[in-house]
């Protein structure tokens, strides 16, 4: 009965191209594009699809209701949330995230998430509806050229023009998204293609003549890298997100401990090496530790593993690591010598290259170098003021204490992100998820939701950490998390400010707090949580923090929002000012506090 109603609706409000449904699942091999789409996703092993229906994909949603596919469809409340959820799912599980949205605005709403995935090498396949092929280019209702719009922010994109190419295109899309340096792939699906019929066969293998990716490294270069390590006196491992993507964290840890090489990680590399290890220097770069940046500036050999010499890492490029020769292990040829000339480039999958390199590296004595680093560590450790006020760093330390590092932590962008990177002390790969490259505010909540879907049944808590600014940008997904009873812990560091922008205004723009005060436009976060069927808690003093955390951890059938009313003028230190060399760090407040 239900099918018939929707069929009728489709005929009335659609483009009149709907074809009658077969009463039973097709016994012949012929099926329509929408069913081929669903069967292809099943054959691909897709488990979760984040999506939002609309006119151009109504046939797919209709077939979903009829066929009851093996994958689960999660109805998100905004397509941007859907794309971030797929990213969170992909980053937490290592699988490809899948998004399904309609044409026009549905498609354009995914753009931010696609750009984010492209910057952070997240495997994503985004299926967008499109107007029927005959109408493409006619400014039809809800038409937009999404493959054109996303061309510079995708690894690749497809517009399916023939139903017979649908299954093979889907196979290619997943192959491209998953392999090499992962990235987002857009597949645009015109409505008429979903209605046309053909036989279905999901290809076993995929061959794309213009596409290949490196695997093992050139043995001669690996040998050379091992020799360079042996000859170095002040070696430093500079570890990025590529190490986590390729699953090489264990190997890396083994290598670092064997040769006693200190390790600093990028923002996306956090978790690749346990921060409790004495060899760990934490994060480097703009808000990295003083000692990590000092090590970089004094090192004679930097071994970059799956990192891309981002400007937030290097600061003033010409002054970065002035004494170091550089070994770079990366899968993307375009990352080699892109920003900093590399003395020994090993093109390949990080894990495969480390498998080659590790046996060639001999244990070595780096104690003088480690002593020097210990001196820098003592000189300027990570600290914050402890004066009885509620400081965000304290909240993070309590969350760390509660979980012992066994949690998937998903941060937003800004101060909350940097404090988490500095104070959470990550131990395991894939436990730190953030929007690193693009810096997308509003990322944390939907991405944490996606991660929570991926982590169901795994007994690892998923913690979302946001500021008050970013949280509001995708707060609508609270309802989705609540409906699915996801036991997420959502921490909001509420300082009623766009904190990071405020920090720059205080440091570099003479306290002109232009449009960063959010107090008058912020909601009551506890009430907001309750309105979305979540639990809302609030802490305003350090004493209340543990209480709130304990309460939050005792609730396991729905999301809990914890609002921490933190000190408004707290800053992230140390900091490399934009355009400065990485050893020219600001370590404490320079100007008198504007609020005192």
Q: Which of 245, 248, 307, 324 binds other proteins (CB under 8 A)?
A: 324
Min dist CB 418 to other proteins, Å, is 28
Q: Which of 91, 155, 178, 221 binds other proteins (CB under 8 A)?
A: 155
Q: Which of 21/337 has CB closer to other proteins? A: 337
Contact call for residues 450 and 88 (beta carbons, < 8 A): yes
Closer to other proteins by CB, 335 or 463: give it: 335
Measured CA to CA, the distance from residue 86 to residue 446 in angstroms comes to 9
Phi, psi angles (nearest 5°) of residue 328: -125, 120
Task: State which of residues 11, 337, 372, 540 lies at the interface with other proteins (CB under 8 A).
Answer: 337
List, as own/partner pairs, every contact residues 509-516 make where C-beta atoms lie below 8 angstroms and the sequence separation is at least 24, other chains included.
511/591, 511/594, 513/594
- Three-class SS state of 1: coil
State the nearest-atom distance from the C-beta of 158 to other proteins, in Å. Answer: 9
> Which one is catalytic: 59, 191, 402, 489?
191
Q: Has 385 been annotated as catalytic?
A: no
The span from the CA of 210 to the CA of 180, in Å, is 13
For residue 147, which of 177, 187, 183 has the smallest C-alpha distance?
187
Burial 216-247 (b: 16+ CB within 10 A, else e): ebeeebbeebbebbeebebbbbbbbbbbbbbe
What separation in angstroms does the CA of 311 have from each of 115, 205, 408?
Answer: 18, 39, 27
Can you tell me which of 333, 381, 523, 579 binds other proteins, judged by CB under 8 A? 333
* Distance between CA atoms of residues 205 and 207, nearest Å: 7
Mask for 156-175, x = binds other proteins (CB under 8 A)? xx-x----------------
**Interface positions, 179-218, toward other proteins (CB under 8 A):** 208-211
d(CA 146, CA 187) in angstroms, rounded, equals 9
Judged by CB under 8 A, does residue 177 bind other proteins? no
Nearest approach, Cβ of residue 345 and other proteins (Å): 11
State which of residues 141, 341, 375, 508 lies at the interface with other proteins (CB under 8 A). Answer: 341
Is 64 a known active-site residue?
no
Break the chain down into helix, strand, coil percent, rounded to 5: 40, 15, 45
Q: Is 191 a catalytic residue?
A: yes
With CB under 8 A as the rule, give the number of residues binding other proteins: 28
Region for residue 546 given its phi and psi (left: phi exceeds 0; alpha: psi -120 to 50; beta: otherwise):
alpha
Task: Please give, one letter per residue, the 3-state secondary structure of 136-152.
Answer: CCCCCCCCCCHHHHCHH
Give the CA dihedral 211, 245, 124, 72, nearest 10 degrees: 130
Residue 122 to residues 50, 71, 188, 420, 427, Cα–Cα distance (Å): 15, 20, 19, 21, 21
Taking each helix axis from N to C end, the angle separating 2-13 and 58-67, rounded to the nearest 10 degrees, works out to: 170
Q: Which of 35, 44, 63, 79 is flagged as catalytic?
A: 79
Taking the least distance from each CB to other proteins, the nearer of 341 and 508 is 341
Does position 584 interact with other proteins (CB under 8 A)? The reply is no
Among 36-44, 145-153, 446-454, 533-541, which window interacts with other proteins (CB under 8 A)?
Answer: 145-153
| In the complex, minimum distance from the CB of residue 110 to other proteins, in angstroms, rounded to a whole number | 19
- Using CB under 8 A as the binding rule, whether residue 68 contacts other proteins is answered as no
Q: How far is CA 329 from CA 245, 293, 307, 521, 534, in A?
A: 13, 20, 8, 47, 45
- Report whether 128 contacts 146 (CB < 8 A): yes
Active site residue 497: no
CB of 66 to other proteins, least distance (A): 33
Residue tagged active-site, from 488, 493, 500, 562: 500
Chain-centroid distance of CA 65 in Å reads 31
> 167 vs 321, which CB is nearer to other proteins?
321
Contact flags string 37-66 toward other proteins, x per CB under 8 A: ------------------------------
3-state secondary structure of 175: helix
Residue 124 binds to other proteins (criterion: CB under 8 A)? no
For other proteins, the closer CB: 150 or 268? 150
Stretch that binds other proteins, among 61-69, 324-332, 410-418, 454-462 (CB under 8 A): 324-332
- What is the chain's alpha carbon radius of gyration, rounded to the nearest angstrom? 25
Minimum distance from residue 438 beta carbon to other proteins (Å): 14
Q: List the one residue from 26, 105, 148, 278 that touches other proteins (CB under 8 A).
A: 148
Q: Which is nearer to other proteins, 173 or 252 (CB)?
A: 173
CB closer to other proteins out of 206 and 460? 206
Q: Is 271 left (phi over 0), alpha (psi -120 to 50) or beta?
A: left
- Give residues 304-323 in contact with other proteins (rule: CB under 8 A): 318, 321-323
Can you tell me which of 151, 233, 456, 527 binds other proteins, judged by CB under 8 A?
A: 151
Q: Counting contacts by CB under 8 A, is residue 523 touching other proteins?
A: no
CB of 333 to other proteins, least distance (A): 5
What's CA 165's distance to the chain center, in Å? Answer: 31
Token output for 205? 């293998």
Please tell me whether residue 137 binds other proteins under the rule CB under 8 A: no
Looking at the Cβ atoms of 153 and 480, the one nearer to other proteins is: 153
Of 70, 72, 141, 250, which one is the catalytic site residue?
A: 141
Establish whether 338 is a catalytic residue.
no
Q: Which residue among 147, 293, 431, 495 contacts other proteins (CB under 8 A)?
A: 147
State the helix-helix crossing angle for 444-454 and 79-93, rounded to 10 degrees.
50
The active-site residue, picked from 21, 142, 397, 425, is 142
Residues that bind other proteins (CB under 8 A): 147-148, 151-152, 155-157, 159, 176, 208-211, 318, 321-325, 332-334, 336-338, 340-341, 343
Report, as residue numbers or ranges, the catalytic residues.
79, 141-142, 191, 500
């Amino acid at each position: 009965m239900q099918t018939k109603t929707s069929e009728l609706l489709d005929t009335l409000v659609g483009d009149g191209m709907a074809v009658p449904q077969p009463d039973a699942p097709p016994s012949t091999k012929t099926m329509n594009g929408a069913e081929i789409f669903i069967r292809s996703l099943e054959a691909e092993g897709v488990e979760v699809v984040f999506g939002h229906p609309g006119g151009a994909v109504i046939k797919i949603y209709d077939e979903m209701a009829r066929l009851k596919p093996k994958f689960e469809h999660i109805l998100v409340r905004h397509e941007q949330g859907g794309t971030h959820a797929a990213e969170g799912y992909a980053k937490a599980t290592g699988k490809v995230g899948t998004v399904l949205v309609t044409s026009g605005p549905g498609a354009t709403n995914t753009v931010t998430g696609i750009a984010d995935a492209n910057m952070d090498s997240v495997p994503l396949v985004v299926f967008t509806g499109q107007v029927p092929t005959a109408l493409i280019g006619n400014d039809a209702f809800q038409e937009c050229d999404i493959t054109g719009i996303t061309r510079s922010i995708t690894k690749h994109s497809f517009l399916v023009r023939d139903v017979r190419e649908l299954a093979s295109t889907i196979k290619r899309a997943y192959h491209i998204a998953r392999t090499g340096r992962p990235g987002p792939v857009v597949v645009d699906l015109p409505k008429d293609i979903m209605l046309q019929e053909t036989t279905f066969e999901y290809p076993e293998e995929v061959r794309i003549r213009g596409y290949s990716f490196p695997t093992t490294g050139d043995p001669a270069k690996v040998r050379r890298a091992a020799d360079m390590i042996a000859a170095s006196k002040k070696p430093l491992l500079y570890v990025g997100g590529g190490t986590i993507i390729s699953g090489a964290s264990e190997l890396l840890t083994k290598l670092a401990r064997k040769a006693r090489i200190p390790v600093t990680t990028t923002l996306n590399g956090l978790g690749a090496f346990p921060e409790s290890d004495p060899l760990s220097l934490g994060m480097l770069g703009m808000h990295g530790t003083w000692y990590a940046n000092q090590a970089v500036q004094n090192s004679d050999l930097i071994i970059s593993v799956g990192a891309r010499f981002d400007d937030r890492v290097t600061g003033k490029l010409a002054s970065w690591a002035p004494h170091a020769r550089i070994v770079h292990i990366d899968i993307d040829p375009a990352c080699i010598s892109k920003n900093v000339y590399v003395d020994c480039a090993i093109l390949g999958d990080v894990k495969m290259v480390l498998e080659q390199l590790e046996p060639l590296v001999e244990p070595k004595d780096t104690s003088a170098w480690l002593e020097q680093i210990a001196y820098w560590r003592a000189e300027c450790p990570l600290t914050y003021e402890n004066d009885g006020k509620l400081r965000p760093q304290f909240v993070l330390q309590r969350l760390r204490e509660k979980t012992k590092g066994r949690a998937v932590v998903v941060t937003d962008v800004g101060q909350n992100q940097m404090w988490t990177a500095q104070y959470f002390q990550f131990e395991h790969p894939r436990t730190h998820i953030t929007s690193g490259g693009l810096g997308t505010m509003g990322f944390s909540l939907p991405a944490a939701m996606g991660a929570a879907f991926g982590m169901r049944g795994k007994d690892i808590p998923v913690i979302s950490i946001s500021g008050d600014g970013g949280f509001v940008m995708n707060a609508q997904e609270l309802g989705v998390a609540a409906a699915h009873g996801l036991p997420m812990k959502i921490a909001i560091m509420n300082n009623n400010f766009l904190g990071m922008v405020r920090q720059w205004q205080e440091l570099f723009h003479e306290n002109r707090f232009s449009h960063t005060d959010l107090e008058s436009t912020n909601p009551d976060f506890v009430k907001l949580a309750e309105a979305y069927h979540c639990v809302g808690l609030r802490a305003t003093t350090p004493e209340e923090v543990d209480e709130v955390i304990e309460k939050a951890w005792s609730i396991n059938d729905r999301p809990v929002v914890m609002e921490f009313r933190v000190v408004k003028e707290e800053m992230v230190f140390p900091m490399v000012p934009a355009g400065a060399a990485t050893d020219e760090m600001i370590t404490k407040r320079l100007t008198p506090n504007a609020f005192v």
